[in-house]
Amino acid sequence: MRLQPEEWAALALSLKVSVVATLLSLPLALAIAWLLARRDFWGKSLISALVHLPLVLPPVVTGYLLLLTFGRNGAVGGFLEQFGVVLAFRWTGAALAAAIMGFPLMVRAIRLAIEAVDPRLEQAASTLGAGRAAGFILVTLPLIAPGILAGAVLGFAKAMGEFGATITFVANIPGQTQTLPSAIYAFLQVPGGEGSALRLVALSLAVALGAVLISEWLSRRIAQRIGRG
């Protein structure tokens, strides 16, 4: 199976967008998940609802809202442009859209993992001289590592498959914002494009399968390391 340059570009862009979206949103997802799992504060249900909103909102609505906020004339977009950061119709915008769409899945997986860890273990750590940060890093973090990995894989998978919000926010510019799903869609719109579309479909399948297999293997490794295997 030989890929056309355009198809290569779509695959490379999709991988770049998904990796960046996953890695950049992971720390924030961890922080939010921890807040939702371990803290009670005013407005907690509002935060939770906001985080989960992209899950239930039509992706095209999310994309349009992103365009309104992060577009060049949007409040945040205009502000960022002063620093030379442009998101609309760029691959960075695709990463933002992918991150937001994957965020609820990440938060959910990590939050469940944190809730499964006995908070009294951190109490025990504190009586042994570990401050709050040390207790979290040395006790809770290793115990929730499988959950973080699961969240990252879900977020990555969602990013690879994201279509509606991406195409609305950053359009479908080959070589710039055309991700795998956008490329498949584009090829299906032109006569004779089925061959390319099918190749990209096969590629999507391979990437998805690979990601799942790698994550299974990693989570087994982690489970063994933390004594749950």
Partner 1 sequence: MSLSVNITHRLGDFLLDVAFDASPGVTALLGPSGSGKTSVANSISGLLRPFYGHVHLRERALLDTAKDIFVPPHKRRVGYVFQDGRLFPHLTVEGNLRFGMRFAKEAGNPAEVIDLLGLGTLLHRRPGTLSGGEKQRVAMARALMSDPQILVMDEPLAALDEPRKEEILPYLEGLRDQSDIPILYVSHSVAEVARLADDLVILQGGKVVCHGSAEEVLSDPAAIPFVGVREAGSILRAKVLEHGPDGLSRLAISGGELVLPGVTADEGSNIRIRVLSQDILLSSRRPEGLSSRNILAVTVEALRIGDGPGAAVSLRAGEDRLLARITAQAAREMGLEPGTRCFAILKATAVPKGSIGR
103 contacts 25 by C-beta, under 8 angstroms: yes
What are the backbone angles phi and psi of residue 104, rounded to the nearest 5°? Answer: -60, -35
Of 132-161, which residues contact partner 1 (CB under 8 A)? Answer: 132, 134-135, 138-139, 142-143
Sole binder of partner 1 in the list 128, 202, 206, 209 (CB under 8 A): 128
Determine the residue type at 35: L
In the complex, the smallest distance separating the C-beta of residue 127 from partner 1, rounded to whole angstroms, is 4
The span of 59-67, 96-104, 127-135, 183-191 binding partner 1 (CB under 8 A) equals 127-135
Distant-in-sequence, close-in-space partners of 135: CB < 8 Å, separation ≥ 6:
122, 125, 126
The span of 124-132, 154-162, 163-171, 210-218 binding partner 1 (CB under 8 A) equals 124-132
Of residues 74 and 146, the one with the C-beta less far from partner 1? 146
Of residues 134 and 211, the one with the C-beta less far from partner 1? 134
Of 81-120, which residues contact partner 1 (CB under 8 A)? Answer: 118, 120
Count Cα neighbours of 118 within 13 Å in the Cβ-side half-sphere: 5
Of residues 105 and 125, the one with the C-beta less far from partner 1? 125
Interface with partner 1 includes 69 (CB under 8 A)? no
DSSP result, 77-128: HHHHHTTT---TTSHHHHHHHHHHHHHHHHHHHHHHHHHHS-THHHHHHHHT
Of residues 2 and 39, the one with the C-beta less far from partner 1? 39
Instruction: Give the three-class secondary structure for 147.
Output: helix
Please, what is the Cα angle at 204 between 112 and 51, to 5 degrees? 30
Interface with partner 1 includes 208 (CB under 8 A)? no
Q: Alpha carbon of 47 to those of 28, 44, 53, 78, 95: distances in Å? A: 13, 5, 10, 25, 22
Sole binder of partner 1 in the list 12, 85, 188, 226 (CB under 8 A): 226
Sole binder of partner 1 in the list 24, 44, 73, 123 (CB under 8 A): 123
Binding residues with partner 1: total (CB under 8 A): 23
Sole binder of partner 1 in the list 96, 113, 125, 165 (CB under 8 A): 125
In the complex, the smallest distance separating the C-beta of residue 39 from partner 1, rounded to whole angstroms, is 17
DSSP result, 12-47: HHHHHHHHHHHHHHHHHHHHHHHHHHH---TTHHHH
The closest of 207, 189, 182, 165 to 70, measured between CA atoms, is 165
Interface with partner 1 includes 218 (CB under 8 A)? no
Q: Which residues bind partner 1 (CB under 8 A)?
A: 118, 120-121, 123-132, 134-135, 138-139, 142-143, 225-228
